[in-house]
Amino acid sequence: MKSSMSLRNMRDLVSTVSEELKADRAEAERIIAALLDRPLFDLYAMDRISEREQRTISAAVERMKRGVPVEYLTGRVQFRDHVLSIHPGVFIPRLETEYLVELIQKELQSAPATILEIGTGCGALSVALAFVYPDSRIVATDISRVAIENVRQNVKNFRLASKVHIVQCDMYEGIAGRFDLIISNPPYVPRARLKKLPKSVKDFEPITALDGGEEGVELVQKLIEGCGSRLSDGGLMAIEIDEEAVNIIELLLRKQGIYSFRFHKDLFGRWRYLFIGDHDEKG
Ligand SMILES: C[S@@+](CC[C@H](N)C(=O)[O-])C[C@H]1O[C@@H](n2cnc3c(N)ncnc32)[C@H](O)[C@@H]1O
């Protein structure tokens, strides 16, 4: 973006950003609001854009043209009602995962006393669940050191340290006890599909958060295998999955002798979630 360009008003700026990033106006507005840390509805109320703001936007647009996700530039990501810190090198939470929280609320008859999240990333799910179930004790784990630093910051920012216990570990390693809710959005992209991911994902988001092995179920399988010894009686395990992995996951479940399971679709109509555990309709 040419920093010499004279941007008379927000309309000019939105047009320029939209052209530069080949994004529609709504997307350009969202990006500018995030970069200027302003509410979207308030954007056109800005009567002038300072030179400093123009330089900020200009530099950010150049980096975004190289594929850097806007969330890594602003250091913030919205997840449900919360604005979380996000560090470069940590998976950026997606809309599909926000919806997982809704489904869990619909399914659970009562608040879980104990929750285990495996692969917490920046901690979005654990933070959201800590607000939905304020009396629950949560253990949030991840194998990645940068993710652990990121979740620590979010837990501190949201004053959840007394509720969310953070552990750096590989899957269930070192985790004792049983949990009423086990939740995970593990890496689940089948290896052959990794190279087809958008540049902003494959070049900037961590491979350990994406690579699900040959068929995208390597970690899903480990989660399922641990279910018997980790889930409380009457507990629920909820896992986000690849939409094309339903059949293979069904085979894995039957091999483990697990018959009480169901799949749910996401907001885009794709099979996206596996729920394990006895299920009674909420009354
Ligand atoms: C798809 S990201 C999900 C992050 C976060 N829960 C979310 O929904 O935004 C998967 C996460 O699992 C973590 N992970 C990968 N392998 C793991 C393992 N063996 N044990 C624990 N965490 C793992 C990654 O570091 C990453 O943070």
From 77, 145, 150, 185, the mutation candidate for ligand 1 (largest count of ligand atoms within 8 A of CB) is 185
Instruction: Give the model confidence (pLDDT) of 219-250 as tens digits.
Output: 999 999 999 999 999 999 999 999 999 999 99
CA distances from 2 to 6, 17, 55, 61 (A): 9, 11, 10, 10
Q: Which domain holds residue 42?
A: 10-66
Q: pTM of the full predicted structure? A: 0.93
Q: Which atom of ligand 1 is nearest to the CA of 117?
A: 6
Tens-place pLDDT, residues 128-149: 999 999 999 999 999 999 999 9
- Grade residue 150 by pLDDT with cuts at 50, 70 and 90: very high
Residue whose CA is at the smallest distance from ligand 1 atom 11: 119
Compute, in angstroms, the gap from residue 220 CA to the centroid of ligand 1: 11
The reply to whether 165 and 27 lie within a common domain is no
Q: Do 109 and 35 share a structural domain?
A: no
Q: Tell me whether residue 134 is exposed, middle or buried, using C-beta atoms within 10 angstroms of its C-beta: 0 to 12, 13 to 18, 19 or more.
A: exposed
The verdict on residue 136 lying in a domain is yes
Q: Are residues 114 and 208 in the same domain?
A: yes
Question: How far apart, in Å, are the Cα atoms of 269 and each of 73, 185, 238, 264?
Answer: 31, 18, 18, 9
CA-based radius of gyration for the chain:
21
* Residue 121, both tokens: 């990333």
Is 75 inside any structural domain? no
Q: Does 172 lie in the same domain as 57?
A: no
Ligand 1 within 6 A of CB of 172: no
Whether residue 175 is found in the same domain as residue 47: no
Q: Tell me if 149 is assigned to some domain.
A: yes
Query: Is 61 contained in some domain?
Result: yes
CATH number at residue 115: 3.40.50.150
Ligand 1 in reach of 121 Cβ (< 6 A): yes
Q: Is residue 76 part of a domain?
A: no
Domain assignment present for 187:
yes
Check whether residue 92 and residue 55 sit in a common domain.
Answer: no
275 token code pair: 């729920």
